[in-house]
Amino acid sequence: MSRSDLLTDSFGRVIRDLRVSLTDRCNFRCLYCSPPRERAAAFSRTRFLFRHEAPAWPPPVWAPRAAMLTFTELERVVRLAVELGIRKVRLTGGEPLLRRGVEDLVARLARIPGLADLAMTTNGLIFPQKGQALRAAGLRRISLSLDSLTPANFKRITGRDGLRAVLASIALARQLGLEPVKLNAVIVRGLNDHEVGPLADFARANGLNLRFIEYMPLDASRAWTRELVVPGREILARLLGRFRLVAIKPASPAETARRWAFADGPGELGIIAPVTEPFCAHCNRLRLTADGKVRTCLFSQQEHDLKPLLRGGATDEELRARLQAIVSTKEAGHHLGEPPCGQPLRPMSCIGG
């Protein structure tokens, strides 16, 4: 396959990784994300939420189900993307396990020739009920959100008393052979930064891969402030003061995490620092939202709608050409580290993690 047949942007980056959001719905109400149209402005503006119970938000307003791409449409886009060089697909949300029949979609995607890696990111709340079927359908890897190890703080962050279910999901994922099992922890100053050490202890004790992620401006309330970001270098300093770590050489320049192994045992730590240490120069990702929009960057101010083509009788050739044209517009970088720091028009729950 020549470069002209691949998804190559104007900077010579070849796109190999596709994130596919299955829904904007979520059964968590995380303070650093939250569904759209919520009265969440108090978060990070007044700071009081860090010291008290999570507030009782009003019910969110979700996009209508008719606006979501069907499984047939999702499968078609993924198939065409793989034909254009995509090798990794990660299913996200919202919470992807809320999409009815998700096991069927996993089975359909797993059968696509040339797809080397099919993974999912989930909050883990209902994974114990879905895990066996997902593994049988062809899911190969999983990432689970774990922002706290204490029930009270977990509930404060997510709005749900779900720590026990997430821990059960971690155990089940390992039992099912979904390796490596990755954990994601978004670190927010004053909210859970005191748990960096305990979370790393948990990863080492259980031989897990843990990723610490900087708090990004992707909240629905648009209340993100830079002072709440715990920089990756600060997280690393805390870890080095507690553990003997050995740097892991990246398998690819496109890796988003800087990684370390424990010198005295199994497990792995990583730091994803898009705010203070951007990794845009080697970005090889593309995103498809649940309602059919293609995003060339997590922080893009523009989205490209595939739905009119998908539902308007477009041929595969026309869709492939459209995907290539979209990728040619991929930004050089997101400029998060430069003031002013603009936010995408939609929050993380609508974009896909």
Cα(291)–Cα(350) distance, integer angstroms = 9
Mean pLDDT in the chain? 88
pLDDT digits (tens, 9 = 90+) for 282-323: 999 999 999 999 999 887 878 999 999 999 999 999 999 999
Q: What are the residues whose beta carbons fall under 8 Å from the beta carbon of 113, sequence distance 6 or more?
A: 82
- pTM for the full model? 0.90
Cβ 289 vs Cβ 10: under 8 Å: no
Quote the number of domains for the chain.
Answer: 1
Mean pLDDT in residue range 157-172: 96
pLDDT digits (tens, 9 = 90+) for 32-67: 876 444 434 455 455 544 444 544 445 556 678 888
Strand pairing class (141-145; 209-214)? unpaired
pLDDT at 222 over 80: no
pLDDT: is 244 or 353 the higher one? Answer: 244
Residue 275 — very low, low, confident or very high, per pLDDT cuts 50/70/90? Answer: confident
Strand pairing class (258-262; 285-288)? unpaired
Give the CATH number for residue 184.
3.20.20.70
Strand pairing class (293-295; 268-272)? unpaired
pLDDT digits (tens, 9 = 90+) for 88-144: 999 999 999 999 999 999 999 999 999 999 999 999 999 999 999 999 999 999 999
Domain that holds residue 51: 3-351
Q: What are the residues whose beta carbons fall under 8 Å from the beta carbon of 231, sequence distance 6 or more?
A: 214, 273, 275, 276, 277
